[in-house]
Structure 1
Amino acid sequence: MIKGLGGIILKRFITTAAAVLLSTTISYNVFAHSNLSGSNPADGEVVTEPLNEITLEFEGQIEQGSFIDVTSSSGQAVEIKDIIIGDGTLTGTVAEPLPNDDYQVNWSIISEDGHPLEGEFTFTVNAPETETEEAVSAEASETPKAVEETTEADNQSTEAQEGAVAEEAEAESSSTTTILIVVLLIVAIVSGLFFFRKRK
């Protein structure tokens, strides 16, 4: 009886120990996988101030080789100046504030246990334009108008030149016709005089 009871207790002890060990292992793996816990800007956020850096925060440590890349709404890649790996953070900096647009951030990290993780999120920049940006925009909008005016002026100049050439050609043609008529009249008169003299 005592022997049977001891076997039951031993089995329960082994089962409990295995469950505790399994739970500890799962908890460690979840912690070590360094899942994304937040970001600045946040997913879907509309940024209304100049933005020079993007920071991702993770639940655990991340290793060297982790990176982010950013693309605009047109699919053009944004040049990342520096990648900074901190204490559970990954920061990407850009040389100049991002212009107003929609952006997608793709991140790829190596977690503390060596497993790779990746993900993505989006945000929008809608910051007030600076005087320099407004001047560039105004200049860009005025440039087509200036080109159009220059083209129109060139067309008018070309038309005027063509008109002058046509008038000159017409005048030359008229002069040539007049000279030809005069020559024919002289020939006719000389021929007539010669004919009448010959008959006499």
Structure 2
Amino acid sequence: MKKLLIILIGMLVMIPTIVSAHTEITSSNPASGQVVKEDLNEIVITYEGKIESLSTMNLVKDGQEIPLVSVTPKENQLIGTLSSPLENGAYTVQWSIAGEDGHPLKGEIPFTVQKEVKQEQTETKTPVTTKKEETKKDHTQQEQTNKETTASSINFKTIITVGIVAILVIGLFLLFRKKR
């Protein structure tokens, strides 16, 4: 009986670590919602754990994909190299990775480039309020996407936890039934 109790406690302690084994973002440059005010030549996303070589990212501005020179997964980072610094505007990094556990994850990181414009270019500059409104819409969409991703991740974790607990309960029931 003591052995069974020790095994049960051990399983309950291990369940949260098994369920939370998915790789998540720890940081990114640029960060979500960041306003970049200087030249940006590289996009770096850092994850909690090692990522697989099939991981990728795309950069999108106004629905058009901006080509990246290279996308390189290194250990726990995904690095996208740009051919030239980005122009002012609202951008979204769309990333897709496979973590060490093989679980595929996708997400988006919205950010805005707002470098100072030289005197000659001030006449052709788009009003800042329009860009801010677009950025707010992008941020709202990103927050919704993040909430949906988090919700689906939590639902998956909950299903796994409930399944493991159910198996343990059924196993204990059958074990005690055999002893009687």
Range of TM-score over shorter length: 0.5 to 0.7
Match of 2:29 among 37, 40, 47: 40
Indicate the structure whose relative CO is greater, using CA pairs within 8 Å and at least 6 residues apart. Answer: 2
Match of 1:62 among 36, 48, 51: 51
Q: Using the alignment, how far apart are the partners of 1:30 and 1:59 within structure 2? A: 11
The secondary structure found in structure 1 opposite 2:85 is coil
The secondary structure found in structure 1 opposite 2:116 is coil
Structure 1 residue 22: Cα displacement? 4.3
The secondary structure found in structure 2 opposite 1:84 is strand
Per-residue CA deviations over 1:81-128 (Å, capped at 9, x if unaligned) read 111111211111110001111001111100001110111120000113
The aligned residue for residue 17 of structure 1 is 7
Greater than 4 Å deviation, 4+ residue runs: none
Per-residue CA deviations over 1:125-177 (Å, capped at 9, x if unaligned) read 0113479xx57x98x89xxxxxxxxxxxxxxxxxxxxxxxxxxxxxxxxxxxx
Please tell me the root mean square deviation across aligned C-alpha atoms, in Å.
2.4
AA aligned opposite 2:71: I
Larger Rg: 1
The aligned residue for residue 164 of structure 1 is none
Identity of matched residues, %: 35
Size of the alignment, in residue pairs? 125
The secondary structure found in structure 1 opposite 2:20 is helix
The aligned residue for residue 51 of structure 1 is 40
TM-score, reference length from structure 2: 0.62
The secondary structure found in structure 2 opposite 1:106 is strand
Unmatched runs of 5 consecutive residues or more in structure 1: 1-9, 142-200
Match of 2:87 among 89, 99, 113: 99
Per-residue CA deviations over 1:41-77 (Å, capped at 9, x if unaligned) read 11000000001111111110100110011111x2110
Match of 2:105 among 91, 113, 117: 117
Q: Using the alignment, how far apart are the partners of 1:56 and 1:45 within structure 2? A: 14
Structure 1 residue 25: Cα displacement? 4.7
Structure 1 residue 18: Cα displacement? 2.6
Equivalent residue runs for 1:88-167 within 5 Å:
88-129=76-117
